[in-house]
Structure 1
Amino acid sequence: MIKIKSPEEIELMRESALIVSKTLGMLAREVKPGVTTLQLDKLAEEFIRDHGAIPGFLGLYDCPSTLLTSTNMAVVHGLPTNEPLKEGDIVSIDCGALMNEFYGDHAYTFEVGEIDPETKKLLEVTKESLYIGIREFKAGNRVGDVGFAIQKYCEDQGYGVVRELVGHGLGKKMHEEPEMPNYGKRGRGKKFVEGMVVAIEPMINMGTRRIKQLKDGWTIVTADGKPSAHFEHDVALINGKPEILSTFKYIYDELGIESNEEDEFRQNPLILS
C-alpha cells in the first residue's frame, strides 16, 4: 500500500533528505586519488551522527556500512573497502539517513580526478535522465511514464538500462511502495497522487544492461565489465508537481560547479545552511 505523506511529514522528510545531501557535499571534497572508500564511510557515519541523525543503511538488511560505494563497473550496493581510489575512477556514493522517524536516500556518481570523455558522457546522460524522469512524476501520470522517459532517453544514447534494480517509495521505511523502475510503458503502473514521496534513481550502464552479483552478496556489477553510473533524488508530489527534497547543491559548492538544474523542481526557494 502506498503511504501518503501530509505536508508536515514531507517537511520532516526534507530535513532527512538534506542531511544526506550535506553528507554527500562533505564527501565531495574527500573523493580523490589515494582515498579509500572505507575512509569515506567512516567520515560519513561521523557526520550523520554529529548532525543528529542515524545512518540509514547501517544494519538495514544486515548492511555492514553507512555508505554503499560502487566503483567503475559496480552498479550499486558496493561495500566500502581498503582499496584506494585511482585517477580516472568513478564512484557512486549512495547514502541514507534516519531522522524525525523518516528516511532520506540520495546518491551521486563522483569523478576521481580526470576521467575519460566516454565515461564523462555516461555520467552526464545518467544525471540528465534523472531529471527527465522526475518531470514525469506529476499528478495524473503513472509509474510507467517515469520509467519510459528514462529508458528512452538512455537507450537512444546507446546505453543499457538496468532492469533488476529500481527506485522506490520512501518514508518511515527505506523501501515503500511503489517500485519505480527505470524502464516501462507510458500509462502503465500505479497512478501518482498528491503526497507521494519516491526515490528516483537511474542506474545506467555504458554497455549491456545485464548485471551480476559478486560473492560478497552485495556488490552488483555490469556483466561486461564496463562502467555504470547512478544518481538519485528524493521527490515529493506537491500541488500536482514534483518537488525535490534532496539537493546536489552541497556537492556543487565543494566542486565549484554552477548549476540551476534543480530550480524547476522547487516551488519555494530552498534555504540551505
Structure 2
Amino acid sequence: MTETEIIERKRSSQIPLHGPEAFAAMRRAGRLTAEALDMLAAEVAPGVTTDHLDRLVFDFARDHGAYPATLHYRGYTKSTCISINHVVCHGIPNDKPLREGDIINIDVTLILDGWHGDSSRMYYVGEVPRRAQRLCEITYECLMRGLAAIKSGAWTNDIGAAIQTYAESERCSVVRDFCGHGLGQVFHDSPTILHYVEPSYNVEMKAGMLFTVEPMINLGRPQVKVLSDGWTAVTRDRSLSAQFEHTIGVTETGCEIFTLSPKGLDQPYAPAS
C-alpha cells in the first residue's frame, strides 16, 4: 500500500458512518426538501421574484416543523439559494422579477428533527432556448451518472470520472470551485465530493456514508468568480450554468437517494402555465 493509499484510508475511516435510524431520519428530511421543491413548480413564472419563492420555502418549512439550513448560516440572510442563467451557485434571492427564457437553480436545505435534506433542481421560466434546455438535460444526466457510480468499495473519483467524462463529451465543462459534501446532523461534513477526477484526493466509499452530489456544469469555460456580496458565484465568461443535487446514503450495492421528488419532478421541466 502506498503512502497516498494509507492517507486516503485514514481519511475514509474518519468519515461518519450511519446506521438504519440515521437513514430513516434522512429519508424524512430528504422527502420534505423534495416536497418543498415540488411546491415551487407551480410558482416559477415570468414576473415572479426570487424573494417570493424564498418566502414560500420559509413558510413551507415553518408549516412542517422544519427550518431552512441556509438562513443565518455564516451571515446568509435567505432560506434558499436561487441562481439564474450565468450564476453558478449561491445566488441571493431579491426583488428582481424572473424573465421569460431564464433558467434557474433553486437550492433548498431543510433541517427536520436535526437532520439535513439538501437538494437543488433547474426550472425553466416560460419558453427557454434550446441551448439552455440542452445544458439542463446534460447536467441532470451528469448527476445521475455520478450517482450510478456510488457503492461501498468504490472511490469518490469514480463519481468525478462519470460526471467529467460525460460533460466534456457534450462539450461542456465541470466547475472546480465548488463540490458536494457530507451531511447528516451537520450541514457540511466529510467527505468532500469532487465532480471531476483529482488524483490527489480519492476516498473509498463505505456503506453508511451520507453526502451530496451536486455537479455544476457550464456551457462555456469552467472558471468562476465570486461577486462582492461574498456569496454569488458567476461564470467568468458569462456562459450559462446549471446544477442538480441529491442527498444520498451509500449502501453495499449502490446508494439510496433521499431527495427524490414524490411527484417525479426531478428532471428539468417547465412549470405548467
What TM-score do you get using the length of structure 2 for normalisation?
A: 0.90
CA distance in 2, matches of 1:182, 1:107: 16
Contact 1:148 1:185 in 2 (8 A): no
- Partner residue of 1:55? 68
Task: Give the deviation of 1:34 after TM superposition.
Answer: 0.3
CA distance in 2, matches of 1:86, 1:256: 13
Deviations 1:193-247 (A, max 9, x none): 0111110001000101000011111100000111100100011112331111111
5+ residue gaps in structure 2? 1-13
Q: Percent identity?
A: 38
- Partner residue of 1:247? 260
- Partner residue of 2:79? 66
- 1:70-81 matches, within 5 Å, as 70-81=83-94
**Aligned residue identity for 1:126:** T
- Partner residue of 1:32? 45
5+ residue gaps in structure 1? 258-273
Contact 1:193 1:240 in 2 (8 A): no
Task: Give the deviation of 1:187 after TM superposition.
Answer: 11
Task: Count residues with an aligned counterpart.
Answer: 256
Contact 2:126 2:270 in 1 (8 A): no
Task: Give the deviation of 1:256 after TM superposition.
Answer: 8.8
Contact 1:139 1:192 in 2 (8 A): yes
User: RMSD of the alignment, in Å?
Assistant: 1.7
Q: 1:173 to 1:130 in 2, by over 3 A?
A: same
Contact 1:143 1:190 in 2 (8 A): yes
Task: Give the deviation of 1:62 after TM superposition.
Answer: 1.5
- Partner residue of 2:131? 118
Contact 1:206 1:228 in 2 (8 A): yes
What TM-score do you get using the length of structure 1 for normalisation?
A: 0.90
CA distance in 1, matches of 2:240, 2:126: 16
- Partner residue of 1:129? 142
- Partner residue of 1:176? 189
Contact 1:55 1:96 in 2 (8 A): yes
Task: Classify the secondary structure of the residue corresponding to 1:207.
Answer: coil
Q: 2:224 aligns with which of 207, 211, 217?
A: 211
**Aligned residue identity for 1:233:** H
Task: Give the deviation of 1:250 after TM superposition.
Answer: 3.3
Q: 1:202 aligns with which of 199, 207, 215?
A: 215
- Partner residue of 1:83? 96
- Partner residue of 1:237? 250
